[in-house]
């Protein structure tokens, strides 16, 4: 993931530039490969780049031919080749970057440009001729984006990939809502993403098509292998990550076979640079081969306490698939020592998030040290297929579509958008969720929810399991062993080792007294921690960010998040 910092309509942008560069530097961990900035009129766009596609030519911010449009993007656009082919007006591309297509799309469609993008992205675009800045975030909210304002400069608008860039210059901040676009000309934020299943009043009734479910997930994973850098997969040994690893391994082996055929002169599909040590072949928008780097072996990664269930299951899956597996074990002390750093990078004090993300933070550091720039994960299917425990109690399909929640977030449709947590998995921000593409959501969210309900005959996520069950076809190569394909869901925090949660609770008891619980900080207002563990995390959060700043953990609420900086 890359990092963005931008400021529109600053009263003295040249004087502000050194500050802007310092603020952008705070998110260089997102993009260590290159730093760039462009000033135009009273607007500045800064970019910290992690190069995945167009490695040699894709430095940002990007500009059009006469440099009247400036663009900074965080993310990947999977259908960029298809867009290049289908533009109505010829456009001279300066780079091979997948993100550059946003410029001609804006030139042709204006504020409707994001509707044509298939990918995960946040972008800020400045139009010099109109003195206009627009910002948009992907439909599901996989990438992060914040927007801020300062009472000292009423006409100025700030944007950043992380909160830490904004809290020192803004006194009003919001998490930019997924599936929306903002326009400084009107000061309006509008929803551009309106899928067929968005209307909560309508219960989906599309008949179940297991083959379509399987093929749509395979397509989703293949798209995410659009990379020119080494990649891997996170593997917990659970259903979701194991399926993603299985599909990725099949694709890796297919790419290797195609590259060898090209090198031997027997290829039947187009390839590029077949004589290089690493083949450059892969999937493009029309399922044809195009440039993607593959490794001789797919790397898979797991983490846990010694003897953890996840590591044991992951090793079984890796052995079955033939991936090059890396097991990492951590100690309770390792996790406790990392908590403050985890909270700083997550920018949240949510208990569940911190519990699950701490082991992944440790693992991501190891992955990054190995030179792996991108890993695939299997997040999102529990929200889409009803994999959590509270779905068990649903008596009928209408109530199955509702989520019991103290925060009144009642719709499973909303849960599908709460996937910003995917980027909570470590400081390197190198995770690409494989199971939540727009196409996959369109297919699976329209399935009659009766098919998703948990019964005596069907365990959670039965649809997904059955879609990849090849037991009825003796000639088919199995995706996973049955013991993994039909393995009961386990909470990640438990899967890494049951002692982890107990240790967190015990340490919270040591750091937070009963008296502290009775006297929370006044600036917390009504957002008062209800457990000592939550209180402990909130105090660590306050060490990094203003204590009056509230962060919405799901990054979904379009309301303003305000800070009192008087």
CA neighbours closer than 13 Å in the CB half-sphere of residue 300: 30
Alpha-carbon separation of residue 482 from 317, 364, 404, 466 (angstroms): 11, 29, 32, 11
Residue 489 zone, left/alpha/beta (φ > 0; ψ -120 to 50; rest): beta
Q: Which of 2, 40, 99, 170 is catalytic?
A: 2
Closest CA to 532 of 547, 510, 551: 510
Partnered with residue 72 across adjacent β-strands are 124
Q: What are the strands of the beta sheet with 3-8, ordered from one edge?
A: 34-40, 43-49, 3-8, 153-160, 146-150, 172-175, 561-562
Q: Which contiguous run of DSSP H or E holds residue 537?
A: helix 532-544
Measured distance CA(273)–CA(281) in Å, rounded: 9
Q: Do 428 and 357 touch, CB atoms closer than 8 A?
A: no
Closest CA to 133 of 164, 156, 165: 156
Burial 55-69 (b: 16+ CB within 10 A, else e): beebbbbbbbeeeeb
> Is residue 61 reached through a cis peptide bond, with omega within 30 degrees of 0 on the bond before it?
yes
DSSP 8-state secondary structure symbol assigned to residue 431: E
Catalytic-residue membership of 170: no
Measured distance CA(262)–CA(498) in Å, rounded: 49
CA–centroid distance for 27 within its chain: 16
Residue 481 zone, left/alpha/beta (φ > 0; ψ -120 to 50; rest): beta
The string of DSSP letters for 443-510 reads HHHTB-GGGG---SS--TTHHHHHHT--TT-TTSPPSS-HHHHTPPP--HHHHT-THHHHHHHHHHHH
Q: What are the strands of the beta sheet with 132-137, ordered from one edge?
A: 62-63, 69-77, 119-127, 132-137, 180-183, 188-191
Which residues are the active-site residues? 2
């Amino acid at each position: 993931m890359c990092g963005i910092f931008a400021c529109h309509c600053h009263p003295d942008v040249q004087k502000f530039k050194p500050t802007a560069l310092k603020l952008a530097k705070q998110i260089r961990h997102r993009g260590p490969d290159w730093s760039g900035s462009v000033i135009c009129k009273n607007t500045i766009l800064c970019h910290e780049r992690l190069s995945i596609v167009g490695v040699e030519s894709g430095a940002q911010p990007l500009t059009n031919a006469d440099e009247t449009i400036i663009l900074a993007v965080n993310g990947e656009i999977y259908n960029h080749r298809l867009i290049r082919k289908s533009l109505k007006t010829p456009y001279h591309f300066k780079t091979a970057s997948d993100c550059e297509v946003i410029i001609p799309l804006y030139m042709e469609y204006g504020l409707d440009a994001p509707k044509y993008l298939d990918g995960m992205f946040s972008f800020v675009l400045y139009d010099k001729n109109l003195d206009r800045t627009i910002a948009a975030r992907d439909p599901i909210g996989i990438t992060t984006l914040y927007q801020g304002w300062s009472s000292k400069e009423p006409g100025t608008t700030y944007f950043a990939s992380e909160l830490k860039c904004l809290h020192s210059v803004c006194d009003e901040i919001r998490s930019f809502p997924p599936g929306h676009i903002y326009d400084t000309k009107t000061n309006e934020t509008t929803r551009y993403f309106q899928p067929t299943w968005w209307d909560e009043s309508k219960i989906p009734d599309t008949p179940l098509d297991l083959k379509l479910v399987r093929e749509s997930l395979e397509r989703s994973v293949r798209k995410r292998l659009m990379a020119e850098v080494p990649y891997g997969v996170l593997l917990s040994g659970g259903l979701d990550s194991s399926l993603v690893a299985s599909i990725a391994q099949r694709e890796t082996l297919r790419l290797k076979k195609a590259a060898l055929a090209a090198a031997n002169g027997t290829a039947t599909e187009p390839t590029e640079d077949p004589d290089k040590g690493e083949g450059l072949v892969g999937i493009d928008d029309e399922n044809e081969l195009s440039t993607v780097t593959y490794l001789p072996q797919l790397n898979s990664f797991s983490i846990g306490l010694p003897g953890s269930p996840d590591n044991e299951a992951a090793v079984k899956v890796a052995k079955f698939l033939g991936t090059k597996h890396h097991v990492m074990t951590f100690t309770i002390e390792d996790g406790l020592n990392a908590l403050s750093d985890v909270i700083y990078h997550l920018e949240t004090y949510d208990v569940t998030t911190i519990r699950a993300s701490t082991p992944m933070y440790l693992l991501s550091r190891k992955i990054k040290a190995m030179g792996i720039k991108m890993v695939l994960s299997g997040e999102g299917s529990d929200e889409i297929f009803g994999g959590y425990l509270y779905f068990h109690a649903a008596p009928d399909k209408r109530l199955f579509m509702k989520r019991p929640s103290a925060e009144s977030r009642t719709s499973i449709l909303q849960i599908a958008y709460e996937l910003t947590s995917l980027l909570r998995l470590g400081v390197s921000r190198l995770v690409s969720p494989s199971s939540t593409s727009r196409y996959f959501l369109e297919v699976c969210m329209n399935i009659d929810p009766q098919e998703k309900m948990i019964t005596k005959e069907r365990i959670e996520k039965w649809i997904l399991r059955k879609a990849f069950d090849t037991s009825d076809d003796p000639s088919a190569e199995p995706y996973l062993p049955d013991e993994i394909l039909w393995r009961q869901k386990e909470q990640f925090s438990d899967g890494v080792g049951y002692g982890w949660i107990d240790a967190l609770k015990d340490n919270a008891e040591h750091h937070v007294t009963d008296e502290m619980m009775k006297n929370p900080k006044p600036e917390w207002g009504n957002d008062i921690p209800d457990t000592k563990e939550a209180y402990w995390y909130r105090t660590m959060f306050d060490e990094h960010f203003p204590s009056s700043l509230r962060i919405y953990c799901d990054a979904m609420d379009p309301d303003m998040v305000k800070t009192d900086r008087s």
